Structure 1
Amino acid sequence: MRARDLMTTDVETVSPDDDVADVLGRLAKANFNGFPVVDDDGVVVGIVTQTDLVSLFQTKDRTLWIPVGFPPFVDTLTYAVDVSWDEVDLGVDLLRNADKPVSTVMTGEVITIDPDTELLEIIDLLADDQRDINRLPVVDEDGKLVGIVARQDVLRALRDERVLEDGT
Structure 2
Amino acid sequence: MKVRDFMIKDVHTVNENAKVSDILQLFVSKRINGAPVVDEAGRLMGMVSDGDILRYINPSRQTVYDMFSYVFVQQPEELEEALSYKTGTPARKIMKKNAQFVSPDQDLEEALGILAKHHFKKLPVVNADKQVVGVISRGDLLKQIATRLNELNRDTVGS
Q: TM-score range by the shorter chain?
A: 0.7 to 0.9
Higher helix share: 2
Structure 2 counterpart of 1:72? none
Structure 1 counterpart of 2:150? 163
3-state SS of paired residue (2:36): strand
**Count of aligned residue pairs for this structure pair:** 142
Q: Please give the alpha-carbon distance, in whole angstroms, between the structure 2 residues aligned to 1:49 and 1:132.
A: 13
Matches within 5 A, 1:43-122: 43-59=43-59, 87-122=76-111
3-state SS of paired residue (1:46): strand
Which structure has the greater CA radius of gyration?
2
Runs of 4+ residues deviating >2 angstroms: 86-90
For residue 96 of structure 1, report the CA deviation from its aligned partner: 1.6
Q: Please give the alpha-carbon distance, in whole angstroms, between the structure 2 residues aligned to 1:3 and 1:21.
A: 32
Structure 1 counterpart of 2:116? 127
RMSD: 1.9
Q: TM-score, normalised by structure 1?
A: 0.77
Q: Please give the alpha-carbon distance, in whole angstroms, between the structure 1 residues aligned to 2:50 and 2:144.
A: 26
Q: Please give the alpha-carbon distance, in whole angstroms, between the structure 2 residues aligned to 1:155 and 1:13.
A: 22
Q: Please give the alpha-carbon distance, in whole angstroms, between the structure 2 residues aligned to 1:119 and 1:92.
A: 44
For each residue in 1:106-135, what CA deviation from the matched residue of structure 2 results, as whole angstroms up to 9, or x when unmatched?
11111100001112111111111xx22011
For residue 148 of structure 1, report the CA deviation from its aligned partner: 0.7
Structure 1 counterpart of 2:16? 16
Contact 2:35 2:47 survives alignment (8 Å): yes
Segments of 5+ residues of structure 2 without an aligned counterpart are 62-74
Q: TM-score, normalised by structure 2?
A: 0.81
Segments of 5+ residues of structure 1 without an aligned counterpart are 62-85
For each residue in 1:41-68, what CA deviation from the matched residue of structure 2 results, as whole angstroms up to 9, or x when unmatched?
110101111111111222488xxxxxxx
Structure 2 counterpart of 1:7? 7
AA matched with 2:119: D
2:133 aligned to which of 143, 146, 149: 146
